């Protein structure tokens, strides 16, 4: 079993507020996504002069991300290249985001014969931390009895059942094989092969895709 991870009450409150706000807004467009939400944002960017005509293709690529970032920079918003509820309202002149299906990640892979699957488009915003079996005080094995290794995540089984496969942008596919007493709600702990990789990942809020 993994050791108990210690989170301060302030961090836990922050994560809870971030998750609640994200799901209440229900709108997110970022690089690699596609769908009606992306198309709606692209049309607004074109109307505002940040994208050229004909670039509203429903796929959030580098040009769309750059356009979002530029708009955010020029309008006093957090310039992260991600269009959430606040950025959308600024783009649209105060209108709420449309109630459309959540965009899904664009399917691509460096190895076409093994395309990366993102499941049916169901996504989940989570607070993520990282660990490895070499971290002081940790066991080499997960709660499932498997080796702690890259491709494993610790989850709250009430949110992500054990055995669930997920896709994590920038990391790849992973399986829920571990748990932790501090992993509650929309939080996950991502396993890496080395302590250095885990430290480099740090803590961040990310969007993951449920594959099954």
Q: What is the pLDDT of residue 7?
A: 40
DSSP code of residue 139 = -
**pLDDT (tens digit, 9 = 90+) per residue, 87-109?**
999 999 999 887 654 444 444 44
Give helix 36-47 / helix 62-74 axis angle, nearest 10°: 50
Q: Are 196 and 141 found together in one domain?
A: yes
Q: Are 160 and 205 found together in one domain?
A: yes
Q: Choose one of 76, 101, 126: the last residue of a domain.
A: 101
Q: What is the pLDDT of residue 154?
A: 95
How many structural domains are present in the chain?
A: 2
- Does residue 20 belong to any structural domain of this protein? no
Q: Are 140 and 94 found together in one domain?
A: no
* C-alpha to C-alpha distances, 174 to 103, 116, 178, nearest whole angstrom: 21, 12, 11
Q: Are 129 and 71 found together in one domain?
A: no
- Does residue 62 belong to any structural domain of this protein? yes
Q: Are 41 and 123 found together in one domain?
A: no
**pLDDT (tens digit, 9 = 90+) per residue, 163-194?**
999 999 889 999 999 998 889 999 999 999 99
Q: What is the pLDDT of residue 147?
A: 95
Q: Choose one of 78, 101, 124: the last residue of a domain.
A: 101
Q: What is the pLDDT of residue 26?
A: 55
Q: Which of 104-113, 134-143, 151-160 has the lowest mean pLDDT?
A: 104-113
Range of the domain at 146: 9-15+113-210
* Rounded distance between C-alpha atoms, residue 194 and residue 94, angstroms: 46
- Does residue 148 belong to any structural domain of this protein? yes
Q: What is the pLDDT of residue 23?
A: 38
What pLDDT band is residue 24 in, cutting at 50, 70 and 90? very low
Q: Choose one of 101, 133, 163: the last residue of a domain.
A: 101
Q: Percentage helix, strand, coil, to 5, in the chain?
A: 25, 20, 50
Q: What is the pLDDT of residue 99?
A: 65
Please report, to the nearest 10 degrees, the dihedral formed by the alpha carbons of residues 210, 142, 184, 138 taken in order.
Answer: -140
CATH number at 142 reads 2.40.40.10
* Rounded distance between C-alpha atoms, residue 72 and residue 132, angstroms: 36
* C-alpha to C-alpha distances, 142 to 131, 149, 173, 199, nearest whole angstrom: 12, 9, 17, 19
Q: Are 128 and 167 found together in one domain?
A: yes
| Averaged pLDDT, 133-152 | 91
Q: Are 54 and 119 found together in one domain?
A: no
Say yes or no to pLDDT of 144 above 60. yes
- Does residue 4 belong to any structural domain of this protein? no
Q: What is the pLDDT of residue 136?
A: 84
Q: What is the pLDDT of residue 1?
A: 44
Say yes or no to pLDDT of 78 above 90. no
Q: How far is CA 184 from the centre of its chain?
A: 17
**pLDDT (tens digit, 9 = 90+) per residue, 26-77?**
578 888 887 888 888 999 999 999 998 778 888 889 999 999 999 999 999 8
Say yes or no to pLDDT of 121 above 70. no
Long-range contacts of 86-91 (CB under 8 A, 24+ apart): 88/27, 88/29, 88/41, 88/44, 91/41, 91/44, 91/45, 91/48
Over its C-alpha atoms, the chain yields an Rg (Å, rounded) of: 19
Q: Are 131 and 177 found together in one domain?
A: yes
- Does residue 197 belong to any structural domain of this protein? yes
Output the CA torsion sign for 172, 16, 3, 1: negative
- Does residue 146 belong to any structural domain of this protein? yes
Q: What is the pLDDT of residue 35?
A: 80
What tokens were used for 95?
């209108």
CATH number at 45 reads 1.10.101.10
- Does residue 90 belong to any structural domain of this protein? yes
- Does residue 106 belong to any structural domain of this protein? no
What pLDDT band is residue 10 in, cutting at 50, 70 and 90? very low
């Amino acid at each position: 079993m993994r050791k108990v991870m210690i989170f301060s009450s302030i961090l836990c409150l922050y994560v809870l507020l971030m998750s609640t706000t994200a799901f209440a807004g229900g709108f997110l467009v970022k690089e690699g996504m596609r769908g009606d939400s992306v198309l709606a944002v692209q049309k607004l960017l074109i109307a505002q002069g940040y994208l050229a005509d004909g670039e509203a293709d429903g796929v959030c690529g580098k040009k769309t991300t750059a356009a979002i970032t530029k708009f955010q920079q020029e309008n006093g918003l957090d310039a992260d290249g991600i269009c959430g509820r606040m950025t959308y309202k600024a783009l649209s002149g105060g209108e709420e985001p449309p109630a459309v299906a959540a965009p899904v990640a664009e399917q691509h892979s460096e190895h076409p014969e093994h395309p990366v699957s993102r499941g049916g488009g169901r996504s989940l915003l989570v607070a993520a931390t990282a660990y490895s079996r070499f971290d002081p005080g940790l066991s080499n094995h997960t709660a499932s009895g498997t080796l702690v290794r890259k491709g494993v995540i610790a989850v709250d089984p009430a949110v992500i059942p054990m055995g669930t496969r997920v896709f994590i942008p920038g990391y790849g596919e992973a399986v829920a094989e571990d748990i932790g007493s501090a992993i509650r709600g929309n939080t996950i702990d991502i396993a890496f092969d080395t302590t250095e990789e885990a430290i480099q990942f740090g803590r961040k809020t990310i969007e993951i895709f449920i594959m099954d």
